[in-house]
Amino acid sequence: MQKKYLITVVGPTAIGKTALAIEIANHFKCEIISADSRQFFKEMAIGTAVPSKDELEAAKHHFIQNISIFDDYTVGDFEREAIAKLDELYQNNDFAVLVGGSGLYIDAVLKGFDDFPDIDISVRENLIAEYEKNGISYLQEKLKEVDPVHYEKVALENPQRLMRALEVSIGSGKPYSSFLNVKKNSRNFTPIVIGLEADRELMYDRINKRVDIMVESGLIEEAKSVYPNKKLNALQTVGYRELFSHFDGEFTLDFAIEEIKKNTRRFAKRQMTWFRRTENVKWFDFTTPTKEIITFVENTL
C-alpha cells in the first residue's frame, strides 16, 4: 500500500499558517483540512480570521464555515468527520495538509480523541448554573479540588474547557486526566508536523495589527449581529466576549479593543505552550522561505 502523509502546520495565531498551508498544498497538489475550531462557524468570519476569498480559491479547504453557532459540535465530531474526509482524499492523493491553531483539534486528528464515558446531562446543567451564579473562579477552584493534574494543564480562562473537565470528573467519579492518553486510534497516514514561530515581541506586534485590521474590517458589526446569542458556547471566544462587555456597558470601545489584543496575546502564548509539548514538531522561523520548508518535507518522506 502506498504511504499516505498528513503535512501539518501549527503555531500561534497571526503567524502565517494559512499562507504556508496553501503553498504546501499547491506544491503537493492536495487539499487542506482546517483545524481552527472557531473558523468552523458561519457567523464568525472576521473575528476568527477566516481565510480570504482569494486564499480559499487558491487551495481547496475543508471545515471552514461549515456549521452554525447554533449547532452542537464537539471535538469528537470533528475527529470523525476529518478522518472520514482524509480517507476520501487519500483515495486520489498520497498527501493532505492539516492546519490550525487549536491544539486539541490537531491532536484529535493526529492521535485520536480520548474515550470519555457518557455523562448525565444534569451534571453539565448544574455546572452552567454555578458558573452563571459564581463566575469562572468557581470552576477553577472546583477543578483544582477534583483534578489537580488537569488543573495545571488546562486553559484556566476558558470556561468551556473547565466545565468539560469538571463534567467528566464529577459524572464519572474519576479525574478527567485519568481518561487522557489511555486509548488512541490507529491512523493510516504518517504525520509531518511543521511549527511556525517568531520572537515574542514580533509575534505580539503581529497580533495587535491583526486586531486593528479586524476592527477596520467590521468586527464590531459582526459582534453586534451575534450579540443576542452571546451565551452560546461558540461565542465564548476572544474578540467577541470583550465586545459583548462593551455592548453591556462594562467596557468603553477602546478598552474592549485593548482587551482583545491582550487576551489574544495570552491565547498565542498558550498555543505555543501546547505545541511545544507536541511530539516531533520541526520548528521554523515564520520568515523561512517556503521552498526551504518544502525541501524539509520532501527529505522527510
Annotated binding site: 11-18
- Sequence-distant (6+) residues with CB within 8 A of 58 are 22, 26
Residue with cell 452560546: 232
Tell me the sheet residues that pair with 117.
none
- Sequence-distant (6+) residues with CB within 8 A of 224 are 243, 247
Annotated binding site for ATP: 11-18
Annotated binding site for substrate: 13-18
φ/ψ region of 14 (left if φ > 0, alpha if ψ in -120 to 50, else beta) reads left
